[in-house]
Amino acid sequence: MLRNFLIALVLASFGFIFYNLYNSYEPHTELTGIAAHYAENGASEVGAANLVTAVVISYRSFDTLGEITILFLTAAIISFFLKLSKEDEEKVIIHRGTSELLKTASQLLVPIMFLFGIYVFLNGHLTPGGGFQGGAIIASAIVLAIMANPNMTINHSVIIWVESLSGVSVVLIGVLGILLGGGFLDTTLDGYGLGEFGTIFSAGTIPVIYSLVGLKVGAELSNILNMYQKSQKEA
Amino acid sequence: MNNEIIYSVIAIGIGVLMVIMAVIAILNNKLSVAIVAAGVVSLFASVLFLLMAAPDVAMTEAAIGSGLSTLIFFYVLNKIKRQNA
């Protein structure tokens, strides 16, 4: 009785808070402050047709570096907790037999999904999407391949090398920004140029950084899913 | 103006469906149904993001929220079931 009353009290106070928040909310009719600066000067300063990418990779690239680090930590912690012993490696996954439809469809769809993921992160500065989305699409393709063939193994050293090399390269390009640009992780380097607005070779180093981020995120997410898949093994 | 009304009707409908799916995810006794319902909440959320002109967020939500995380939940559920059996 008392418990239900307390729950109702908490819900009512939350409702009161959110109602007040909703009531006092007045939408801005025009951009203000820093948002207006991004919208007006984003195209000329950074050269990215997709303004979201300009903010994520250039203006707020330090946040993105933090996100990459968090994802790396997550992958490391998951592989630490799902660590398999030598005996487990030899076990196989018992499954009820994959359906013919899934097998045939995965052969057709996996290459297309890979290509689409690569397209999304290569065109991150022109169309919606970018490194994180493209990496997630690549990981989805690998999931489909794993589901069609549950005992498939992914070459672990390839994943580790792709992940570490792209991570180091992102930071190195960031350091290049100190030497040739306006500061750490600046995407407009001297002598590199912005390129023609709206083409694939534009927006300074954004396509390079986003491709590296896409490879890194794809490798990490694939690694996480591969770990979970391996944890299903039984004698 | 007419388009705006249609958009709001669709958005409100999706919002109501999201709440229904979230309630199913909490109250259903079968865990597999709850996981699928939670994935559907993410799928509707990504459609809603697309209607709000945020395609970048919509892509992330569709790929990670409703795709990969649902799959990880199923892996964990399978593992728990086997250990309890």
**Which amino acid, one-letter code, is at A176?**
L
Structure tokens at A136: 């997630």
A133–B56: do the CB atoms touch at under 8 Å?
yes
Q: Of A200-204, A221-225, B1-5, B16-20, which has the strongest mean pLDDT?
A: B16-20
- Average confidence (pLDDT) over B12-18: 92
Residue B46 has a pLDDT of 93
Burial class (CB in 10 A: 0-12, 13-18, 19+), B84: exposed
Residue A8 has a pLDDT of 94
Global confidence as pTM: 0.83
Q: Where are the domains of chain A?
A: 50-81+97-233
Between the alpha carbon of residue B76 and those of residues A5, A81, A85, A171, B83, the distances in Å are 35, 13, 19, 34, 11
Residue owning tokens 């500061």: A183
A137–B56: do the CB atoms touch at under 8 Å?
no
Chain A residues near residue B55 by CB distance under 8 angstroms: 128-129
Residue A234 has a pLDDT of 65
Give A145-195 pLDDT, tens digit per residue.
Answer: 888 887 777 888 888 898 889 889 988 888 888 887 777 877 777 767 676
Three-state SS sequence of chain B: CHHHHHHHHHHHHHHHHHHHHHHHHHHCCCHHHHHHHHHHHHHHHHHHHHHCCCHHHHHHHHHHHHHHHHHHHHHHHHHHHHHHC
- Which residue on chain B is closest to A52 by alpha carbon? B56
Low-confidence ranges of chain A (pLDDT < 50): 235
Residue A17 has a pLDDT of 94
- Half-sphere exposure (Cβ direction) of A146: Cα atoms closer than 13 Å: 23
Question: Which of A133, A222, A230 would best serve as a mutation to test chain B binding (most B beta carbons within 10 A)?
Answer: A133
Residue A95 has a pLDDT of 67
Give B51-77 pLDDT, tens digit per residue.
Answer: 888 888 898 898 888 888 998 898 888
- Work out the minimum CA distance from A228 to partner chain B, whole angstroms: 6
Question: In this structure, what are the phi and psi dihedrals at residue A123, rounded to the nearest 5 degrees?
Answer: -100, 25
Tell me the pLDDT band of B1, cut-offs 50, 70 and 90: low
CB of A180 within 8 A of CB of A100? no
CA angle A231, A235, A93 (to 5 degrees): 50
Query: Is B71 in CB contact (< 8 Å) with chain A?
Result: yes
Mutual angle of helices B69-84 and B31-51, in 10-degree steps: 170
- Among residues A39, A217, A50, A59, which one has the least CA distance to residue A128? A50
- Half-sphere exposure (Cβ direction) of A204: Cα atoms closer than 13 Å: 28
Between the alpha carbon of residue A211 and those of residues A3, A112, B68, the distances in Å are 53, 18, 21
- Work out the minimum CA distance from B61 to partner chain A, whole angstroms: 9
Q: Write the ipTM.
A: 0.83
Structure tokens at B24: 């199913």
Residue A156 has a pLDDT of 81
